Each structure stands twice: as C-alpha cells, then as structure tokens.
C-alpha cells in the first residue's frame, strides 16, 4: 500500500488567477510528442522466434528500434534494417515513415520458402515484408464469410467454398447451393451428402472438418439469426462530394443468433447423424469442430445463451452420441472473454480455468469423467496460461493477488506440474511482470516495471536463475523534462473492507498549498482492470497514452485519477459479480469512497469540484455519473458511449447484462434516465463509429432535448470509435475537452480560439 503524504498549506485560489494561454494548452496536447524521445532502453515484452531467438522493441535516441537476441550466444543486434523496411512499407502503402518511427508496435516473425519475413499491420492494412529484399505486400483478407460480432453470419457475403480435401487426398467436400457435396478426386465423380438445405437452414462449408482417417467428416447445419443492419451516413467523405451510406451487420442484445447443430457423415455409406442437442440446446456461440487425433471423437465448445454455462462437448464417431467433458456453470456469468481451456494429447486431458470456488484457478480434467485435479488454489487469481509444456507436463501461468501488502494487480509468474505439487515461483520483484517462455521451455524473458520504475528486461533459465540482464530502462532525460511518476493510492470500498486501488496524476508544478479540482478518467468494463500497473509512457502497456492524457490534463491545473472499482476483473468472483445485470453501477460507491478517503488525507484534493471523462463503456459510465450521482460529479465528457445496452453490440452486453433482455437494461440506460441530468455534459461522437452505433449518442441527445436539458454535443464527421480528427498539431476533440473542464471546474474562460488564427494551422 502506498499512502500519499501531501502538504497541508493554506488554501489558495491560484488555480483561478491565471488565464490558460493557448501555449499552455498546446503544450498539454503535444506532451506525448515532446516526451516520446526522452527515454532510453525502455523495452517492450519479448516475442520468441521459431529458431530460438527473440525480438523486442526498445526506445533509442530519436525513436525506437527492434532488437533480436540469441540466448545461446548471449548477444543481440538489430532485428532488421529499419531504413530499408521503412522504404518497403512506403512503397507498398504510400505511407512514408522514418526508420526509428516505424508505424507498428510489434510484428510476427515467419518464414516463407525459407526466407525470413515480418507480418505486421500499418493502420488497417496487414502487410508481409521480406527481410532480405524488404519488399512488402498486402496480405489478402480472409476469404471466410464475416460474422457480426462472431454470432451472425453475413449472408450478403459468399462463404469460402474452397473444397476441403480429406487427409488421404481421395475426397473433397464443398457446398452446392445450401447442401454439402462429396467429390472423388481420382475421377471427379460427385454425390450429395445432404439434400434438405435451404435459405432458412443450410449446411456451412466453412465448418467442414475431416476425421484423421478420412472415413468421416463433420459440419454444422445452420439456422441463420437476425440480419440487423446499422446504416450510417458519411456526411463528409474524403475528397469531397455528396454523402455516402455505410452499412454494417450489427446484432444487438435479444436478436436471434445463428443456431448451429453438428452433423456426422460417413463417407462410404453416406449415412448422416444429426447430433442430439440436449447438451447444447440454446447456443450463443459454438467453436469450430476439431477432431481428436485418434479419430474416436470430435469436439467443440458450447457457450449457452446468457453466458451462464460453458461446455466442452465431445461426440463419438462411432454412434454420434455427445457427452460433456467439462461443464462450467455460474449463477451470474462465465467470463468467456478469456481463454478457459487448453487441450493436451489430442484432447485426452484438458487444462481448465474455473472460478467455481470464488477465485480463478487451474484444473486438470481427463476424458474418463473422473473428478478434476485442482492445480492451483487460494485467495488469488490465475490471470493467463502462458504455456502448456506437454512433454514436461507443466503449465506456465501468470497470477496476481498472492502477495500480502503488495498491489493485488501485479502479475507474477509460476509453473505448476500437471501431476500435482505446489506451483514454482519464477518472478519475485515487487512489480508487474510480462513473461515470455521460450518454445522449448528452456528460457524465459521477464520484462517487469511499475508506474514509478522503468522496465527491466531479464533473460532467465527455466529454473529461475538469471542468465543476463538484457535491458534496463533509462529515464534520466524524462525526469529532467519534468516527468513525475503517478502515485498509487488505496482505500476501502463500499463495504468498508475491500481495498480499492487507484492512480493519482498531479500537475508537474503541483503546489500542496493549493486546492485543485479533481477529474476522474473512468473505464469500468467488467472484461478487465484498467489502472495501469507497468511503466506507462508511450504505450508500454495498454493505457499508457491515456495516462499521458491524464498528465496533459493535470498540467492545466487539475488532479486527475483513475480507479478500479468493484465490477471490474482480476480480483475475486464476488468482486467481479457486482457488474452482473448492473453496468449502471460502474463501481461508483467504491469510487466515491476512494475520493473521499483521499480528500481526507490531502487538503489539495478538492472534491467539491469533481469532473469525469471516459470513452465507449467509459462514456456510458461518465453519463451515469452525472445521472445517478449528481451530488458528487459536476461535469463530464462522454466519448462514443454505449449509453443504452440494448442499442449496443450483442457480444459485450449480453455477456454482462444477461439474456433475455429484461428491465435491468432499462435501469442502466442513459436514454431512459436522461431526465435526471443536473451537471454539465459534453457528448463527443464519431459519426462512423463501427464499434458502438452512433445512434446511441443521438438517442441520448433526443431524450435530453425532450427533457429540456442543456448540454454540449460534438459530432466528428468521419470519426471512428477512436474519434479525434487532428487539425495540425492540436487534436480538436481533446482541446474541446480541456476547454470544457477549465470552464466548468475552474470557472475560467478558455482562450478565444476563433480569434487566434495562428494557433490552428490547417
């Protein structure tokens, strides 16, 4: 626990005495570009290659570069010629870049015909670059039929009907019309396997899976779900001209999803067995079919509609009977947003992640139906399975919350045997660890850091002994430029018992004798925790740029914080379950208690003037703060919010709000509760948001107008979910957010930007 010790000098009103000059705002908006070149040897986590080497990205003078390290030689070098790769990318994309500012954060090392290549992404364009010739080419998009949020096939697009050849090479299976057809490769003769397919119940060629012995195949019969489309108007297309319409398949909560039922087909006889769906009667989603190596069965994963049951189902190839290998049930939700099983030896054993005892732990199942072996236990959580080493019968995993007195979100790494025994700890530093085990299990790279400590990268042997330090981040120049580390603060939540952790960012010229308005950066989605734990500048961990944004805002005279309240992930199941059918809660009782505890310790922390901002689910929470807690939150900026969970995508919302759609959706709705608005509100939306339907924002606007409420609205033409169209050196949307908080929390009038023609080059 880190307790803040802040000065308690006399109250002052310095925050209301100085008009924020345009130069101050420009300095805040340009903070990332000013600071990005000031660190040295700050390394990103490692990625292993198939040849036993690994690469990583690190900051150097002038930008960053990729390094390639060979553990056997104990030395490293540049991963490739950065200047030539920049030229290759420019030739393929027209996007000109510099050698030390390549437009991607990482790449995948692959070989094509024995030649090393890098698979990477520039914007939305996937590229494959030859690391000998440095010629880059765009990778073809997947020919598979797209699915709306994974659950409704887009029938406007043809399925990939490439014939699926049997392992012995004698047969090909494909679809004709809505049915599956077999063709003998030797003579081209064909026969239909199915004959009853139609538009309302077809056989999916993309689902075809051959048995290892080529005597059988399995595929899905599909009853298609609702094909609900979102239509967006692109008012200001690039290059000018009249508006254009954009459409997107967009299933929402309550919509019918594709219903899949596996069918087993015998090649010789043509006999079909439609598998009884008693074990999977109400599917939300089913995984691709996969055959066991011995051909005795095929398997698939079943997620039940409502997300309260997940099953690993196996189907006998002898008679088509199904049985459940593992069933995971919950009275609230099973979190299917994270991997929950890993199969060994062709499915003879299954490593399974479960929260059945109230904490997320590892279990080992086999196909015999015997009770599972519990591999880990205790009041802490397994975060991720990093590697399953079948040969050594070991599992490498990250976990958090096992160290009393330490931040419960710091990831530590362990290895445990599948045959029992206590986990072996592989990391020890009081920090957040990002570990990459080598493919052969002989090494691992540990990159660890904290928000107040730059990354250290170490290469270690599998037994935990140190081979060598690879990198040590140097932030001397960053400190000299005025950087100060964010501060961790912990206080009790709504129950007076549970620790709630947060982060505090103060102005670089912080004066403890002054009183500062408070602004909370909120994201409260149940799919993760969000307060950064690793060293944050420049995207080292997700959220890094957001914390830079917090610093930029703080430098205008605020204290800016971020908090993980109840309902977020990576703590106990009970902590997580607060979000169930309750997204409107957003952990606010914990957040307000946290604010009050900090204000009681720190007189500079003025909770009579609290603002809040957030995007996406954070936008929903921002609006919820003003609607449901107006006595505490005075002003909010909500970006691209999913304000009504009935209007948002099916995948995220049914996971947490459940199915069928009930009155819990209405209780959380920013539309139904818009009449409650008391504070100041700025809504920002990108008109081409493909993640959250922009109509979600406009329906809030409609409800506010009907309720006679005053608010501000910024609609960004062409803006996506990330919004923010740049106008020269200043990001317009973020400048508007800065102005909004200066006006409503500090009582100061922002600069008259329209009169300052030189401030905004076009």
pLDDT tens digits for range 690-745:
999 999 999 999 999 999 999 999 999 999 998 754 444 348 899 999 999 999 99
pLDDT reported for residue 7: 31
Determine phi and psi for 341, rounding to 5 degrees.
-155, 155
DSSP assignment of 596-635 equals HHHHHH-TTEEEEEEEEEEETHHHHHHHHHHHH-TTT--E
CA distance 63 to 37: 6
- Judged against a pLDDT cut of 50, whether residue 15 lies above it is answered with no
CA distance 1 to 3: 6
pLDDT reported for residue 538: 53
- Judged against a pLDDT cut of 80, whether residue 679 lies above it is answered with yes
CA distance 581 to 308: 12
Strands 75-78 and 63-70: antiparallel
Homologous superfamily of 330-450 in CATH?
TolB, C-terminal domain (2.120.10.30)
pLDDT reported for residue 724: 54
Query: What does the pLDDT look like over 30-82, one tens digit per residue?
Result: 888 788 789 999 998 999 999 999 999 999 998 899 999 999 999 999 999 99
Query: What does the pLDDT look like over 329-351, one tens digit per residue?
Result: 999 999 998 878 999 988 899 99
CATH 3.40.50.1820, the chain: domain bounds: 489-759
CA distance 360 to 374: 11
- Lowest mean pLDDT: which of 368-382, 394-408, 459-473? 368-382
In the CATH hierarchy, which top-level class contains the domain 489-759? alpha beta
CA distances from 745 to 135, 515, 611, 641 (A): 53, 12, 7, 22
pLDDT reported for residue 723: 77
- Judged against a pLDDT cut of 50, whether residue 236 lies above it is answered with yes
Q: Quick one: pLDDT band at residue 747, thresholds 50, 70, 90?
A: very high
- Judged against a pLDDT cut of 70, whether residue 501 lies above it is answered with yes
Determine phi and psi for 352, rounding to 5 degrees.
-125, 135
Query: What does the pLDDT look like over 658-677, one tens digit per residue?
Result: 999 999 999 999 999 999 99
CA distance 33 to 701: 35
CA-closest candidate to residue 475, choices 66, 43, 27:
43
DSSP assignment of 462-480 equals TTS-EEEEEEE-B-HHHHH
pLDDT reported for residue 589: 98
Mean pLDDT of 525-530: 97
Q: Quick one: pLDDT band at residue 420, thresholds 50, 70, 90?
A: confident
- Judged against a pLDDT cut of 70, whether residue 249 lies above it is answered with yes
Q: Quick one: pLDDT band at residue 399, thresholds 50, 70, 90?
A: very high
Q: What's the whole-number average pLDDT of the chain? A: 93
- Judged against a pLDDT cut of 50, whether residue 2 lies above it is answered with no
CA distances from 632 to 199, 550, 612, 703 (A): 55, 20, 10, 23
Query: What does the pLDDT look like over 67-123, one tens digit per residue?
Result: 999 999 999 999 999 999 999 999 999 999 999 999 999 999 999 999 999 999 998
Q: Quick one: pLDDT band at residue 546, thresholds 50, 70, 90?
A: low
CA distance 455 to 532: 14
pLDDT reported for residue 1: 36
CATH 2.120.10.30, the chain: domain bounds: 330-450
CA distance 406 to 533: 12
Cis preceding linkage at 538, omega within 30: no
Mean pLDDT of 403-415: 97
Query: What does the pLDDT look like over 127-163, one tens digit per residue?
Result: 999 999 999 999 988 899 999 999 999 999 999 999 9
H-type alpha helices, 393-502: 476-480
Q: Quick one: pLDDT band at residue 5, thresholds 50, 70, 90?
A: very low
- Judged against a pLDDT cut of 80, whether residue 760 lies above it is answered with no
């Amino acid at each position: 626990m880190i307790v803040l010790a802040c000065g308690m000098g006399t109250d002052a009103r310095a925050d209301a005495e100085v008009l924020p000059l345009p130069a101050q705002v420009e300095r805040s908006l340009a903070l990332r570009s000013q600071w990005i070149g000031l660190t040295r040897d700050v390394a990103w986590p490692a990625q292993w290659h198939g040849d036993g080497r690994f690469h990583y990205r690190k900051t150097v003078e002038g930008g960053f570069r990729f390094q390639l390290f060979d553990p056997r030689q104990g030395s490293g070098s540049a991963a490739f010629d950065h200047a030539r790769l920049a030229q290759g990318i420019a030739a393929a994309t027209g996007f000109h870049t510099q050698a030390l500012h390549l437009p991607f954060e990482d790449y995948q090392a692959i070989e094509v015909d024995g030649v090393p290549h890098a698979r990477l992404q520039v914007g939305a364009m996937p590229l494959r670059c030859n690391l000998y010739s440095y010629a880059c080419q765009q990778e073809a998009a997947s020919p598979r039929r797209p699915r709306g949020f994974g659950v409704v096939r887009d029938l406007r697009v043809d399925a990939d009907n490439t014939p699926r050849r049997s392992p012995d090479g004698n047969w090909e299976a494909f679809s004709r019309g809505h049915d599956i057809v077999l063709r003998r490769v030797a003579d081209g003769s064909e026969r239909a396997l199915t004959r009853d397919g139609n538009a309302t119940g077809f056989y999916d060629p993309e689902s075809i899976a051959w048995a290892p012995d080529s005597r059988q195949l399995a595929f899905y019969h599909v009853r298609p779900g609702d094909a609900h489309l979102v239509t967006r108007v692109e008012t200001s297309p690039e290059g000018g001209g009249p508006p254009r319409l954009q459409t997107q398949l967009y299933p929402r909560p309550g919509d019918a999803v594709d219903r899949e039922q596996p069918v087993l087909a015998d090649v010789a006889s043509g006999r079909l067995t439609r598998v009884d769906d008693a074990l999977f009667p109400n599917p939300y989603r089913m995984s691709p079919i996969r055959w066991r190596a011995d051909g005795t069965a095929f398997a698939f994963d079943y997620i039940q509609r409502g997300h309260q049951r997940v099953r690993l189902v196996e189907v006998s190839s002898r008679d088509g009977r199904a049985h459940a290998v593992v069933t995971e049930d919950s009275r609230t939700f099973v979190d299917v947003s994270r991997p929950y099983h890993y199969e060994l030896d062709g499915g003879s054993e299954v490593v399974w992640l479960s929260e059945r005892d109230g904490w997320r732990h590892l279990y080992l199942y086999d196909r015999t139906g015997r009770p599972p072996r519990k591999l880990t236990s205790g009041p802490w959580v397994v975060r991720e399975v990093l590697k399953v080493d079948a040969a050594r019968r070991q599992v490498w995993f990250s976990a958090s919350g096992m160290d009393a007195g330490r931040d419960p979100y710091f990831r530590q790494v362990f290895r445990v045997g599948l045959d029992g025994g206590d986990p072996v700890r592989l990391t020890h530093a009081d920090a957040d660890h990002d570990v990459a085990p080598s493919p052969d299990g002989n090494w691992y790279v540990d990159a660890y850091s904290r928000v107040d400590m730059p990354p250290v990268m170490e290469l270690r042997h599998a037994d935990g002994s140190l081979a060598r330090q690879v990198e040590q981040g140097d932030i001397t120049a960053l400190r000299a430029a005025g950087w100060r580390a964010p501060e961790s603060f912990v206080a009790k939540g709504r129950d007076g018992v549970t620790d709630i952790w947060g982060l505090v960012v103060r102005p670089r010229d912080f004066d403890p004798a002054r009183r500062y308005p408070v602004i909370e950066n909120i994201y409260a989605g149940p799919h993760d925790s969000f307060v950064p734990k690793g060293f944050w500048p420049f995207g080292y961990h997700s959220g890094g740029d957001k914390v830079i944004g917090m610093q930029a805002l703080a430098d205008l005279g605020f204290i800016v914080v971020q908090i993980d309240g109840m309902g977020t992930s990576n703590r106990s199941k009970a902590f997580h379950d607060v979000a169930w059918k309750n997204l409107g809660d957003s952990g606010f009782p914990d957040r307000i208690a946290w604010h009050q505890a900090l204000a009681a310790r720190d007189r500079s922390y003025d909770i009579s003037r609290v603002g809040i901002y957030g995007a996406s689910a954070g936008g929903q929470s921002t609006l919820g703060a003003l609607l449901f807690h107006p006595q505490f939150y005075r002003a909010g900026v909500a970006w691209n919010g999913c304000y009504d969970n009935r209007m948002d995508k099916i995948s995220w919302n049914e996971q947490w709000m459940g199915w069928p759609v009930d009155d819990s959706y209405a209780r959380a709705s920013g539309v139904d509760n818009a009449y409650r608005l008391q504070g100041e509100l700025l809504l920002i939306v990108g008109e081409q948001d493909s993640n959250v339907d922009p109509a979600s924002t406009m329906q809030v606007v409609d409800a506010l107008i009907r309720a006679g409420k005053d608010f501000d609205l910024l609609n960004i033409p062409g803006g996506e979910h990330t919004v923010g169209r740049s106008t020269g050196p200043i990001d317009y949307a973020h400048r508007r957010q800065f102005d909004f908080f200066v006006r409503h929390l500090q009582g100061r009038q922002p600069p008259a930007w329209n009169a300052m023609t030189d401030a905004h080059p076009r």
